Amino acid sequence: MNLLQLQENLREAVIATARSEFNVELETVASEVPPKIELGDAAFPVAFELAKRIKQQSGEKSNPRQIAERLKSAIEKIEAVERVEVAGAGYLNVFFNRAAFLIESANAAPLPKLNASDDESSPKVCVEHTSVNPNKAAHIGHVRNAVLGDTFIRILRASGKRVEVQYYIDNTGVQVADVVIGFVYLENMSLADIKELNEKLIRENKTFDFYCWDLYARVGQAYQTDENLKAKRGEVLHLIEEGNNPTAELADYVVTRNVECIVATMERFGISYDLLPRESEILHLHFWTRAFEEMQRRDVIKLETSGKNAGCWVMPIDSHSGNDEHEADKILVRSNGTVTYTGKDTAYQMWKLGLLGLDFYYNLFHTYGDGKKIWITTADAIQQDAGVPKFGNNETVYNVIDSRQSYPQEVVKKGVATIFPEKGEAASVHLSYEMVALSPSAAQELGFEISEEDKQKSFIEMSGRKGLGVKADDLLNRLEANALAEVEKRHADLSDEEKRKTAHIIAVGALRYFLLKFTRNTVIIFDFKEALSFEGETGVFCQYSAVRANSIFRKLNEPDSAFKIQDLGLEKIAEIFNAEDGNDIWSMAILAARLEETIVQAANANEPAILAKYTFNLAKAFNLFYHNHKIIHEENEAKRQVLIAVADLTRRNLTAALDCLGIEVPERM
RNA sequence: GCUCCCGUAGCUCAGUUGGAUAGAGCGUUCGCCUCCUAAGCGAAAGGCCGCGCGUUCGAAUCGCGCCGGGAGCACCA
């Protein structure tokens, strides 16, 4: 019986006893982790609630402590429970059988099951993340999005779900038109010139997306003075949307190169995708037309015949009230007949949920080192590649998008739910998060001129248009260089290859943890010192703790690894836990065993930070444990074996927790 | 004007089903490498949990009202 099952049994026992003893029907029972190990392993403040309910039902006043006493005897019957105490005003504190629990945990399958089922009949969910416009390099804000999404995927998989990962490519938007304008009108380049430029950049060890980053910023500046250039925008945009012309071909090359760069950047962070759906196919395969028909059929969209929205198709949103300045209704089709972003997104969402009745065609885009494939959509049925997995048809769709897009996301969710009431709003989840902004000093550190007004602000928003931001690859390079210097200092004997690999693992660990330790709705004000830190509450701290644990096992003698903790016997183990420092050892074991419930909690709350915090606390507890107990050199043989078993449980679960956060553990560091 | 988010230690943040003495990291001060990796460990100092009222046996957490900060409410994406 694992910890989750045990806790469930305890809850059921409480509910059953409340029913039989007090005739009260409890729907849920709150359980908590006691603040101190001396107060037990699980606590139920349920007696207070029961006292209230009894008073409501019979008018009799009852004492919570007495209620708790009666619950106590029922819970004590559960096998894994050692004893139960009534404490304080009426807390029910449960103490587990430590020796039995340790044996059980030592033999348990590695938790969590990090490889989700590939059984095609099991329900699948979709996580869409990254959303970098394919016209420039990714910055740290995009990495927050992707790391959040990727970690959430790992959490879902750990809790047994099948997950499809998508990165939506907005290849027909104005951002793409802007950078195309840069190439064509600022640089006077043809497609052949751009291809040549790409070759040159590769030779110089530079990247195409970084080049576009600067070019895009230059276009933004040029627009401010050059009205003619700005006028070209609509024209170029139209050509790109239409397709089958030289401008569209040039745009496609630029987009594809940028996507390749962005996918490569994300791969450095341990992030991979299954499918890249493109907006051009949403248009060319008439996804919108189909969605529009459904909307008209179900009467969720109406044509405005008068007022300022005359000629537009709009969706009424009743949760928002309008006024003179702002309409409450959301426009999905403009008066000139073109579809807004929200309209296209609604059609795409319908496809993701298997509600559209249309499908894309697919081409192979890229194969990762481990053989995993990324697919990209195409409008051309004839050119479709063989061996395409089944995409779409997801039970639930998670969209990782920043909180500024809450309103359009709400429109998409409500729209889909109105057309398909049987699916409901719960099928569309907006995994929203706050942006990564720059502190004024960080912006200055990047070499930007800061206006007096901005200096007064607590943070400055990053802007691709202005070229203001910390590029993902730049930051990772800097972290790797810092980590490499530390590795050189500590482990000069390692080969250059091993040093570089270690530095990379450390750098990724530092950055992923930095982005995950904040809860989703906290604005991260980027600070170089904090992001580059390898000490304190960092991913590196967690990795270090795991490396230390592993080094114990590397140094253990052969007989130790063959030893099974159950050979020691329950009594001997219990003796160790009952000794003076027994609580200390036990608290390490029980904390490590809480990984599975933490993953469930993080999955239910859609909050990876819960797992990040737990992982840090586990690492911290292990560092203390490591400091207080000499494991290899312990003279009491029984205690030594218990310490080994607890350390082994901890390192296994610490490694699994880190894996779930997308953080690897190096051999040495 | 309307909607949403935030306000907790000097700084940056956890504290999400209401529970026991409100936590962590950084920074400051002071200790700990003859011993499984000091990217570590320990100790000290540091709090009207924005303010007020309410609900409750019990409120940082729930409700209402203020104050302060942010985002959104485009025929942009």
For residue A584, tell me if it sits in a domain.
Answer: no
Distance, CA of A388 to C1' of B31, in Å: 64
Q: Which residues pair with A409 in a beta bridge?
A: none
For residue A463, tell me if it sits in a domain.
Answer: no
For residue A600, tell me if it sits in a domain.
Answer: no
pLDDT tens sequence across A41-85: 999 999 998 998 888 887 788 889 999 999 998 899 998 999 999
Alpha carbon distance A512, A9 (integer Å): 36
Window A592-621, strand B contacts by Cβ < 7 Å? 605, 607, 609-610, 613, 616, 620
Window A214-243, strand B contacts by Cβ < 7 Å? none
Rounded mean pLDDT, A441-453: 86
Helix, strand, coil: what percent of chain A each, to 5? 55, 10, 35
Q: Which long-range contacts (CB under 8 A, 24 or more apart) does A262-267 make?
A: A262/A130, A262/A132, A262/A134, A262/A137, A262/A138, A262/A142, A262/A209, A263/A167, A263/A365, A263/A366, A263/A374, A265/A137, A265/A138, A265/A209, A265/A472, A265/A473, A266/A130, A266/A138, A266/A143, A266/A146, A267/A368
pLDDT at A123: 84
Burial A61-94 (b: 16+ CB within 10 A, else e): ebebeebbeebbebbeebebbbebbbbeebbbbb
In chain A, the number of structural domains is 1
For residue A62, tell me if it sits in a domain.
Answer: yes
Compute CA distances A136 → A193, A207, A270, whole Å.
18, 10, 20
pLDDT at A118: 64
Window A561-580, strand B contacts by Cβ < 7 Å? none
For residue A83, tell me if it sits in a domain.
Answer: yes
ipTM computed for the complex: 0.97
Residue A600 or residue A319, greater confidence: A600
For residue A67, tell me if it sits in a domain.
Answer: yes
pLDDT of A271 above 70 = yes
Average the pLDDT over each of A99-113, A222-236, A430-444, A461-475 and give the range with the smallest value. A99-113
pLDDT at A557: 79
pTM for the whole structure: 0.96
- Closest residue to B12 (CA to C1') is A530
| CB A70 within 7 Å, strand B | no
Rounded mean pLDDT, A37-42: 93
Q: Using the CA of A333, which nucleotide's C1' is the nearest one?
A: B75
Secondary element (H or E) of residue A275? strand A275-276
Decide: residue A431, CB within 10 A, 0-12 exposed, 13-18 middle, 19+ buried: buried
For residue A593, tell me if it sits in a domain.
Answer: no
pLDDT at A322: 46
Residue-number span of the structural domain to which A54 is assigned: 3-96
Chain B positions with an atom below 7 A of a protein C-beta are 1-6, 12-21, 23-27, 35-42, 56-58, 69-77
Compute CA distances A631 → A358, A409, A433, A477, whole Å.
61, 53, 43, 38
pLDDT of A583 above 80 = yes
Distance, CA of A526 to C1' of B19, in Å: 36
Compute CA distances A70 → A76, A95, A145, whole Å.
11, 17, 50
Rounded mean pLDDT, A533-548: 97
Alpha carbon distance A113, A126 (integer Å): 19
| CB A62 within 7 Å, strand B | no
Confidence of residue A15 (pLDDT cuts 50, 70, 90): very high
pLDDT of A581 above 80 = yes
| CB A631 within 7 Å, strand B | yes
pLDDT at A113: 56
Rounded mean pLDDT, A522-535: 94
Cα A11 to chain centroid distance, Å, stands at: 30
pLDDT of A551 above 70 = yes
Can you give the CATH number for the domain in which A52 is found?
Answer: 3.30.1360.70
For residue A318, tell me if it sits in a domain.
Answer: no
Average pLDDT, chain A: 92
| CB A305 within 7 Å, strand B | no
Closest by CA position to A570, among listed A6, A4, A82: A82
Distance, CA of A180 to C1' of B25, in Å: 45
Please report, rounded to a whole number, the percentage of residues in chain A having pLDDT higher than 70: 97
Burial A222-235 (b: 16+ CB within 10 A, else e): beeeeeebeebbee
| CB A528 within 7 Å, strand B | no
pLDDT at A661: 97
Q: Enter the tokens of residue A350.
A: 């319908």
Burial A594-617 (b: 16+ CB within 10 A, else e): bbbebbbebbeebbbbbbbbbbbe
Confidence of residue A28 (pLDDT cuts 50, 70, 90): confident
